[in-house]
């Protein structure tokens, strides 16, 4: 069985890691790792390879940054050559980034089977580039691995045949549970002069929050109020840092007395920071899931989420990007702590094993 695993951007790395480990336990599986190079900085990619024990990519496409069409097209052109040369039986793509769609589309057109891990999530907001990537990747995939029952319902509604869909749990949580103890051993808090349970973590990188000066300025005003109540640490995504400079907002944010700005952090430092935070403010998808498992309150600065289970069962609150929602909800959490949490079904560290079991059961088709 010849499998190509694809990664492109930071959030792909923690999702593919447990799948690679699991596939490696089966001697008749030959796997290659292709990195598209959508994310290329060491602190967006290299550090995760080292900390998660990922093998070096066998093939690096080096596509880099660009507009959506250019980036997607560049991945497709390069990946077509890889498929022609390597002739795999199956391509595994994860998540919802441009590399996910580009490789799924290329493989499907060349008659190579596609497995999509984290299928069926929907924000029902097509202004998000990831929503387009999710819908199209799911249409193309032959094996759709889901993290929750809602995802199965979404796929059913879109007419995806039931026999292609497998509810297996959450590979991102496999990785979190595997690395949690090692993360807590690190001196991350001391390095940033933070005390356990007495700080908040902020991450923002969605175009809808950080590409528009007025919107981003409003969020910074809210953070300015909040950091008076709770010191904040904010690792800056490259898009966010670049926009802060271009929109002339950097000094406004950096001059807040209880705000620490850092470069993007590695997996273990960031997991340590999240684990011991009083609350987390984010527009990331994965962090909504991770905070649910860690039992740390999460404020999602978006109008919608493709991960509603983190609200109904987890610690997530959808607050939008307005001052009222951010401050009111933060105050409520500071006063009352987290809401009760149920661990979502199958978010138990075994998702990768279930995925590989399904693939091996179907191996005559591969």
The residues binding ligand UD1 (CB under 6 A) are 9-11, 38-41, 44, 65, 96-98, 129-130, 205, 237-239, 242
Least gap, CB of 236 to ligand UD1 (angstroms): 11
Closest by Cα among 334, 287, 332, 282 to 314? 287
Using left for φ > 0, alpha for ψ between -120 and 50, and beta otherwise, residue 245 falls in alpha
From residue 243, alpha-carbon distances to 154, 186, 211, 302 in Å are 34, 31, 6, 18
Closer of 11 and 18 to ligand UD1 (Cβ): 11
Least gap, CB of 326 to ligand UD1 (angstroms): 20
User: Measured between alpha carbons, how far is 60 from 5 in angstroms, rounded to an integer?
Assistant: 12
- Say what the alpha-carbon torsion angle 115, 118, 119, 124 is, to the nearest 10 degrees: -150
Tokens representing 250 are: 């950097």
Closer of 114 and 189 to ligand UD1 (Cβ): 114
From residue 268, alpha-carbon distances to 127, 186, 290, 365 in Å are 32, 8, 13, 38
Q: Which of these is catalytic: 35, 205, 237, 317?
A: 205
Least gap, CB of 163 to ligand UD1 (angstroms): 29
Closer of 11 and 349 to ligand UD1 (Cβ): 11
* Residue 205 annotated among the catalytic residues of the structure: yes
The distance in angstroms from the start CA to the end CA of the chain is 7
User: Measured between alpha carbons, how far is 222 from 252 in angstroms, rounded to an integer?
Assistant: 12
Least gap, CB of 123 to ligand UD1 (angstroms): 11
User: Measured between alpha carbons, how far is 135 from 120 in angstroms, rounded to an integer?
Assistant: 8
Closer of 228 and 246 to ligand UD1 (Cβ): 246
Least gap, CB of 117 to ligand UD1 (angstroms): 15
Strands 143-146 and 59-60 come out as unpaired
Closer of 108 and 128 to ligand UD1 (Cβ): 128
**Which residues are marked as active site?**
205
């Amino acid at each position: 069985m010849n499998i190509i695993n694809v990664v492109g951007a930071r959030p792909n790395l923690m999702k593919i890691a447990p799948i690679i480990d699991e596939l490696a336990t089966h001697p008749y599986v030959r796997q290659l790792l292709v990195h598209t190079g959508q994310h290329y900085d060491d602190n967006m990619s290299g550090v995760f390879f080292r900390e998660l024990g990922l093998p070096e990519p066998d093939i690096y496409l080096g596509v880099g940054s660009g507009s959506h069409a250019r980036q997607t097209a560049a991945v497709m052109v390069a990946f077509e050559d890889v498929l022609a040369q390597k002739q795999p039986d199956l391509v595994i793509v994860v998540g919802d980034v441009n590399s996910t769609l580009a490789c799924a589309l290329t493989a499907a057109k060349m008659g190579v089977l596609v497995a999509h891990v984290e299928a069926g999530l929907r924000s029902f907001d097509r202004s998000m580039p990831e929503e387009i990537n999710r819908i199209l990747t799911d249409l193309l995939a032959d094996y759709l691995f889901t993290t929750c029952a809602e995802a199965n319902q979404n796929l059913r509604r879109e007419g995806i045949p039931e026999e292609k869909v497998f509810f297996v749990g959450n590979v991102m949580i496999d990785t979190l549970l595997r690395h949690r103890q090692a993360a807590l051993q690190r001196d991350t808090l001391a390095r940033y002069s933070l005390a356990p349970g007495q700080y908040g973590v902020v991450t923002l990188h969605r175009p809808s929050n950080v590409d528009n000066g007025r919107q981003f300025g409003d969020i910074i005003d809210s953070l300015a109020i909040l950091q008076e109540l709770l010191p904040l640490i904010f690792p800056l995504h490259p898009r966010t840092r670049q926009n802060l400079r271009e929109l002339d907002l950097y000094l406004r944010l950096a001059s807040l007395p209880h705000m620490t700005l850092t470069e993007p952090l590695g997996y273990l430092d960031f997991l340590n920071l999240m684990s011991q935070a009083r609350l987390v403010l984010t527009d990331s998808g994965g962090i909504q899931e991770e905070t649910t498992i860690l039992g740390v309150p999460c404020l999602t600065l978006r109008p919608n989420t493709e991960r509603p289970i983190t609200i109904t069962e987890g610690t997530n609150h959808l607050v939008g990007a307005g001052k009222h929602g951010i401050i009111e909800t933060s105050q409520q959490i500071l006063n009352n702590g987290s809401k009760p949490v149920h661990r979502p079904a199958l978010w138990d560290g075994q998702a990768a094993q279930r995925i590989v079991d399904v693939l091996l059961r179907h191996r005559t088709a591969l």
